[in-house]
Amino acid sequence: MSKVLILAEHNGSTINQSTAKVLTAAKQLNADNIDVLVFGNDSGLATQVAVLNGVNQVHYVQCDDNHDQLAASIAPTIADMAKNYSHIFGPSTTFGKDVMPRVAALLEVNQLSDVMEIIDANTFKRPIYAGNAIITVKTDTTQIVATIRTASFPADKSSDGQASVAESSLSTAATHTKFVTLASGNSDRPDLQTASKVISGGRGVGSKENFEIVYNLADKMGAATGASRAAVDAGYVPNDMQVGQTGKIIAPDLYMCFGISGAIQHLTGIKDAGTIVAINKDGDAPIFEVADVGLVGDLFKIIPEMMEKL
């Protein structure tokens, strides 16, 4: 008899798609009840969640001074509420990864990180060693705390749900932690984590200026842009574009990469992409081992040609 509590993620005004992906995972448990917990200071967020089909109740907890984003502030409230649930799920995003282990520690359980497959209410699959091995894990604690790998579950697209909303206010705000500022990448392009097409560049792109041609092709194809760690470290692009074990794990329909050799850590981030297309000067680059379509050549010739022919 599973009762699931989902921690919703948002950016202050819009519910993040990761929430709908966690909902898909929760539904696979054949749960008796799925409730969603939203921390924020805009009750419209609760309304956005309430229309998702399959959600019974939305617990909306009003927070001031950005405490909704602070793990130390919200974890005690989640843990307190979690006592009525068998499964407490959060997204395996930086937000979920920050908060959920705190909840697990308060409930005295180990957390299941990055769940990629649900076998039954107690058995799950998750990747280890940068995705080079998959383990099947079992836990039968009264509360199971997990983060859900968003690349492994499609987003629930329903909008005919009629969940009730219960409002309260945060009583566990931490005094030792304070939000200062958020500097976001401010991209007009599709969100990297949810885009159906992603075009990435690596060290082979050569400079920040050269990345313009990668952006141009992405815009032409309606794709989000990503990058390898080498491109981020070289300062070509901001770090929130990084794809890989230490960056974002994505699963677009099309992943096209230019000038990326394909280190293990990068491949971890793209393994579940529908079609991987690799363009690289070096025909021996490891990226070609995983690519569905490979083209050996100079990206500075190939991208302009693609621009022209698409």
Residue 20 DSSP symbol: H
Least distance in Å: CB of 192 to another protein?
9
- Hey, is 176 helix, strand or coil? coil
Q: Which is nearer to another protein, 165 or 296 (CB)?
A: 296
Q: Which is nearer to another protein, 113 or 200 (CB)?
A: 113
Q: Is 259 annotated as a binding residue?
A: yes
14 binds another protein per the rule CB under 8 A: no
Residue choice 27, 172, 246, 300 for contact with another protein (CB under 8 A): 246
234 binds another protein per the rule CB under 8 A: no
- Hey, is 201 helix, strand or coil? strand
Q: Is 226 annotated as a binding residue?
A: no
Residue 53 DSSP symbol: T
- Residue whose C-alpha is closest to residue 229's, from 193, 197, 267: 267
Footprint of another protein on 85-114 (CB under 8 A): 93-95, 97-102, 104-106, 108-114
Footprint of another protein on 172-231 (CB under 8 A): 174, 176-186, 193, 197, 221, 229
Q: CA-to-CA distance for 102 and 91, rounded, in angstroms? A: 14
Q: Is 228 annotated as a binding residue?
A: yes
- What single string gives the DSSP state of each residue in 226-293? EE-HHHHHTTSS-GGGBBSTTSB----SEEEEES----HHHHHTTTT-SEEEEEES-TT-THHHH-SE
Q: Which is nearer to another protein, 108 or 209 (CB)?
A: 108
235 binds another protein per the rule CB under 8 A: no
Take residue 4 and report the two structure tokens written for it. 């699931």
Distances (CA, A) of 62 to 65, 67, 167: 10, 9, 7
Q: Which is nearer to another protein, 54 or 294 (CB)?
A: 294
Footprint of another protein on 104-163 (CB under 8 A): 104-106, 108-114, 123, 127-141
Binding span for another protein by CB under 8 A among 41-49, 55-63, 162-170, 233-241: 233-241
**Other CB atoms closer than 10 Å to residue 263's CB: what's the count?**
17
Binding span for another protein by CB under 8 A among 45-53, 55-63, 199-207, 274-282: 274-282
* Binding-site residue positions: 203, 228-229, 242-246, 259-266, 280
